[in-house]
Structure 1
C-alpha cells in the first residue's frame, strides 16, 4: 500500500504547475477538479505509487487562510517534499532547463545517496535524491 501521508501544495497558476511537475519530475496527472474562475480546486499527481495533491491559492475557507506561499514569507518553507528518483543528475538538468532555481547542486551524501535541492517556478523547495527511505537498514548498516 502506498504511503498515506500525502503532501499538499498550493500554486497561483496550478495548471502551469501541473504541467511543470509532470514534465520535470515525471508525475502523472490523475485527477483535476476545476474551481471558480479558472482555478483548480483539487488535483492529484502520482509517481511510482506516491502522490501529491495540489490546489490553487485561495484565501477562502479555513484551510486557505492557514497557508502562505514562499514569496509571502521571505522565500522560506515550513516543510519540503522529498522526491526519490533513480538519477538525480538527470532530473536536476531537467529542472534547471525548465526554469528551476538550483539551491544545491547534485552531490553525494555520507550515506551513499545523491541529491539536490531546487525551487520550482513558484518558489516551493523540492529535495530530490536517490535516498530510499524504505531501505533504512542500508543506512543503519553503514553507521
Structure 2
C-alpha cells in the first residue's frame, strides 16, 4: 500500500476543498491542544492520503509546497467512477481546471484541477490496477 503525504499551509481550507470540490472523503483530523490541525487523512475507496501543516520538524526539510518550488513536483491521480459528474461539480465550485475533461490515449477519461495551494489533482476512470 502506498500512502502519499504532503503539506498544506491552510489545513482548515484544504480538507474543505478536497472533500467539497473533489468529492473525496474525510477519514480523520487530528488537532493539538489549542485546536490547530496537525494531521489530516483523506480517503477514496481503499486509498488514503495524509497531509499536515509545515511544522518545522525534521521531515519538513525534505518537503516544499508548489508555490515555493515554482510549480508542482508531483501530482495526485484519483481513480473515480463518476468523472463527468465530478468534473461538473468542480467547475460549478469554481475550481481552476488546468487540463480539460477528455479521453486519454491509454484509456479512460480524466481532468486535472489546481487546488488553492497549487497542488495538481487529476481525477479519472482509468485504473492501472484493473485487469486489461
| TM norm structure 1 | 0.82
Q: Identify the residue that residue 8 of structure 2 maps to in structure 1.
A: 11
1:94 has 2:89 as partner:
yes
In structure 2, the CA distance between the partners of 1:31 and 1:84, relative to structure 1 (3 Å rule), is same
Q: Establish whether residue 62 from structure 1 lines up as the match of residue 68 from structure 2.
A: no
Q: Which runs of 5+ in 2 are unaligned?
A: none
> Does the 8 Å contact 2:72/2:118 carry over to 1?
no
More helix by share: 1
Residue by residue over 1:36-71, the C-alpha shift from the partner in whole angstroms, topping out at 9 and shown as x without a partner, is 76532111111211111110123x111112211111
The offset of 1:127, in angstroms, is: 1.6
Please give the alpha-carbon distance, in whole angstroms, between the structure 1 residues aligned to 2:66 and 2:33.
23
Instruction: Give the deviation of 1:97 after TM superposition.
Output: 2.7
SS of residue paired to 1:132: coil
Moved more, 65-74 or 36-45: 36-45
Aligned partner of 2:77 in structure 1 is: 82
Query: Partners in 2 of 1:9 and 1:38 — Cα distance?
Result: 20
Note if 1:45 corresponds to 2:42: yes
Deviations 1:65-98 (A, max 9, x none): 2211111122x11111110111222212222233
Match in the other structure for 1:23? 20
**Larger-Rg structure:** 1
Partners of 2:98 and 2:81 lie apart in 1 by: 20
Superposed CA RMSD: 1.7
Q: TM-score, normalised by structure 2?
A: 0.89
